[in-house]
Structure 1
Amino acid sequence: MDWYDISAPLVNGMPVWPGDTPYQFGLQWTKDECGSVNVGRLTLSTHTGTHIDAPYHFDEAGNKTQQLDLSVYMGPARVIYLPDCARIGKAELSAHDLRGVERLLIRTDAWQEKETFPHVIPHVSPDAALYLKEWGVRLLGVDVPSVDPIDSKELEAHHALNQQGIHILEGIVLSHVPEGDYELIALPLPIVDGDASPVRAVLRVK
């Protein structure tokens, strides 16, 4: 296999953040009706499925989606496996060699029932942000919907990571991906004034 697709499929009825916009795709025009083409229509939140968070999502003064540095979202990446963990902090990360890692993707396998939105997830501890910065990490990806606890209002991990210049990729699908080094492509859409963007995230085997 040359590529791993690590994007969540977008399908009607998929789970979304409680209270957020449901995902919906349908045909606005059909070839049968208009005689020439099928044309679809999407309704979705910017945090649907696999997505990146722009700092503006949690900081009024933060960069918006179209202002993000695209180089962060493509390049060498490392996948590490942290099963059975309630939190992802310095202690958990220190068991792994992060030398030279700019993009770190964490597989936890914690979100098994993809048909329902999880109530509890492994979350990133704020102390992880400085530790990752010291190793030169520029992007952190997780296989759960958020780097913070689902019920968090303070979003401490979001803020801590942003303060260290670390970008956030959430909702990646890594259950089929072995630990190791890859090339990541997970480019956000140029949504003007956007707070986030769905992405098609893929890993190329090095």
Structure 2
Amino acid sequence: MAPFTKFYDLSQPVYDHCPGWPTYEPTVVKYEASYDKDRFNAEQIRLNSHTGTHLDAPFHFFPDGQTVDQLDVSLFQGTAVIVDLRSVIHPKEGITVAHLAPYADRIGKDSIVLFATGWGPKRSFDQEYQYDWPYLTGEAAQWLRDKGIKGVGIDAMSMGGWYEGTGRPCHEALLSAGIWILEEIRIPDELTERGECYLMTFPLKLQGFSGAPARAVAAV
């Protein structure tokens, strides 16, 4: 393998009252020690584990599924195919098998698939980002599962949609097969146009958790 020459941070920042899932309590950050008073800084953060760039484990939808700390760390890195949907996907639209078909020859066993929908730069509290993002349909998730992929990511709030009937199907199809889901990444246009990268996305080792914040990094 040739040495990597460039790295891209695909992670969305976490900060006090940052955007998050609409029904969760907001993220709160405060100083427990400050340099002016204590001669050092230390912060406390309260957040839902599915806030910002994070990885879903099977336990998220299956009570008997593996928790994030039980997943083998070798799963969290590998060659990723970037599916460019920026010019074809619309708000509240499902990603279908037809969207994936042009990439069929590049997606195979142990692939990682990243969906570039263009929603990453929209991160905010507005309607489009908080509720109307594109999502992966159950049929397309099953198609990816049949390909034998090990992980899938999206630059939107969730892999599933907000509206009734759009959220569970893809999560259940993927997580029941042990395929992790990476949500709320941000993929630079320059990287999307390359079409492929080596992805590293290691979640915090939170014991018994259904998901955890992750630092997602792409190398080329």
- TM-score over 0.5 for the pair: yes
How far the C-alpha of 1:50 sits from its partner, in A, is 0.5
Aligned to 1:119: 131
Q: 2:210 aligns with which of 195, 198, 201?
A: 195
Question: Conserved in 2, the CA contact under 8 Å of 1:72 and 1:138?
Answer: yes
Aligned to 2:184: 171
Aligned to 1:182: 197
**Structure 2 residue identity aligned to 1:134:** D
Aligned to 2:219: 204
Aligned to 2:32: 28
C-alpha offsets along residues 64-109 of structure 1, whole Å, 9 cap, x if unaligned? Answer: 1111122121121121201232211211100223244611111011
TM-score (norm 2): 0.85
What RMSD over aligned residues (CA atoms) do the two structures have, in Å? 1.8
The whole-number CA distance in structure 2 between the counterparts of 1:131 and 1:49 is: 27
Question: Conserved in 1, the CA contact under 8 Å of 2:34 and 2:41?
Answer: yes
Aligned to 2:69: 66
Q: 2:148 aligns with which of 119, 132, 136?
A: 136
In structure 2, the gaps of 5 or more residues are none
1:9 lines up with 2:9 in the alignment = no
1:93 lines up with 2:83 in the alignment = no
C-alpha offsets along residues 123-171 of structure 1, whole Å, 9 cap, x if unaligned? Answer: 1111122321333311010111111111347611100112333211111
When the two structures are aligned, how many residues end up with a matched partner? Answer: 204
3-state SS of 1:59 partner: coil
Relative to structure 2, which stretch is displaced further, 141-150 or 101-110? 101-110
1:149 lines up with 2:157 in the alignment = no
Structure (1/2) with the larger helix percentage: 2
Question: Conserved in 2, the CA contact under 8 Å of 1:66 and 1:193?
Answer: yes
Question: Conserved in 1, the CA contact under 8 Å of 2:202 and 2:216?
Answer: yes
Change in 2 beyond 3 A, CA 1:55/1:29:
same
Change in 2 beyond 3 A, CA 1:164/1:91:
farther
Question: Conserved in 2, the CA contact under 8 Å of 1:148 and 1:158?
Answer: yes
C-alpha offsets along residues 25-75 of structure 1, whole Å, 9 cap, x if unaligned? Answer: 2211112212x3111111111011000111111111111111112212112
Aligned to 1:42: 45
1:80 lines up with 2:93 in the alignment = no
Change in 2 beyond 3 A, CA 1:178/1:170:
same
The whole-number CA distance in structure 1 between the counterparts of 2:164 and 2:121 is: 21
**Structure 2 residue identity aligned to 1:64:** T
The whole-number CA distance in structure 2 between the counterparts of 1:76 and 1:120 is: 29
Aligned to 2:175: 162
